[in-house]
Amino acid sequence: MPKRVIISGGGTGGHIYPAIAIATALQQLEPDLEVLFVGALGKMEMEKVPRAGYEIVGLPIVGIKRSLSPSNLAFPVKLFKSLSKARQIIRDFRPDAAVGVGGFASGPLLMMASLAGIPTLIQEQNSYAGITNKLLARKARKICVAYPGMQAFFPEQKLAVLGNPVRNDIIDISTKKAQALEYFKLDPNRQTLFVMGGSLGARSINESINAGIGELVSSGYQVIWQTGKDFAEKAGITAAFSGNDQVRVFDFIYQMDLAYAIADVVVSRAGALSVSELCLAAKPAILVPYPYASEDHQTKNAEALVQEKAAILIEDGQARKTLVSKAIGLLQDPARQQRLKENISKLAKPSAARDIALEVLKLIN
């Protein structure tokens, strides 16, 4: 009988794409292994996971807002319904192991899996552990982390420092620049700034680039800009730059490997997935952490790179004043670009997905 694994979590690309990478690695190691994803209804995993070729079931779980909000009144009911549905999913699918990657859905699913005696594994992407994972750690058999020092949050004997899984197509982009130039229809003789705010967009980054795009273009640079859906629609950004040969605007980029391949400098939030991809792609990066992320974990992610002289950090509140000028300064400084490339590449863990998949198989065996 084939082995079966449930992978739960989501909410952002930072949870979803590591989950998909783990699933892919599991099936490469055990081709007959069956994977079922469990996500949160209405969240982006309900679209992204099926697009990657996997089945997903949604739970009605929601997060608790930190400010006083009427929506918090519905949380106990949705939690109870999610726990009940998670228990039924486990009974129907009969998994041999359950993996939680963070996000709303991982809590109910891993809690019910533990109660059912199913071995569980947590994959914590950030340098500061999330609340859900800290609660689940007591019952988890294994906790895979991306950063050293995580014994501050988890039992040390359960930890394995394996890095963050990323999409396979980003592991080797060195041969893709010609393909990327053709895909984006850009000039091979100009340097390219790749701007991304994560899968949901980033207001301070978008507003900074929107205000300074003329300066970037007049300085001779070309820009690939992932805005997120909301900003693209509200600001009419896509239409505004549709005729400009030096600017390419997308609400979401699926061909991330090509965007990294063509980029000379990257501007990004500091979510765990983005940081791990930048390490693997070995790109000079300017990080603008989202200041309202839980426990300010994006700032801690960025600071971990800055300590290794592997990235530049700009605080969110300073982005509108300094982001474009710092980006131009880095584009004008090939020697600094090279130093950042060398330092960030030392932090890459290209085998993370496979190593985590092996830990899951150890739990089963």
Helices (H) and strands (E) in the chain, counts: 15, 13
253 assigned binding-site residue: yes
320 assigned binding-site residue: no
Sign of CA dihedral 179, 180, 183, 187: negative
126 assigned binding-site residue: yes
133 assigned binding-site residue: no
277 assigned binding-site residue: yes
Query: Which token pair is 67?
Result: 């400010």
242 assigned binding-site residue: no
For strand 222-226 and strand 97-100, is the pairing parallel, antiparallel, or unpaired?
A: unpaired
199 assigned binding-site residue: yes
13 assigned binding-site residue: yes
14 assigned binding-site residue: yes
- Cα of first residue to Cα of last residue in the chain, in angstroms, is 13
Helices (H), the chain: 13-29, 45-51, 75-93, 106-115, 131-136, 177-184, 203-218, 229-235, 237-240, 256-262, 272-281, 297-306, 319-331, 334-345, 352-364
28 assigned binding-site residue: no
335 assigned binding-site residue: no
329 assigned binding-site residue: no
For strand 159-161 and strand 34-40, is the pairing parallel, antiparallel, or unpaired?
A: unpaired
**Is 94:48 a contact under the CB 8 Å cutoff?**
no
Task: Please count the CA atoms within 13 angstroms of the CA of 353 that sit on its side-chain side.
Answer: 26
DSSP character string of 262-281: H-SEEEE---HHHHHHHHHH
275 assigned binding-site residue: yes
Alpha carbon dihedral 163, 168, 174, 176, in 10-degree steps, equals: -150
**Is 210:323 a contact under the CB 8 Å cutoff?**
no
273 assigned binding-site residue: yes
**How far is Cα 9 from Cα 15, in angstroms, rounded to an integer?**
7
Residues flagged as binding site for UDP-N-acetyl-alpha-D-glucosamine? 12-14, 126, 167, 199, 253, 272-277, 298
Binding-site positions read 12-14, 126, 167, 199, 253, 272-277, 298
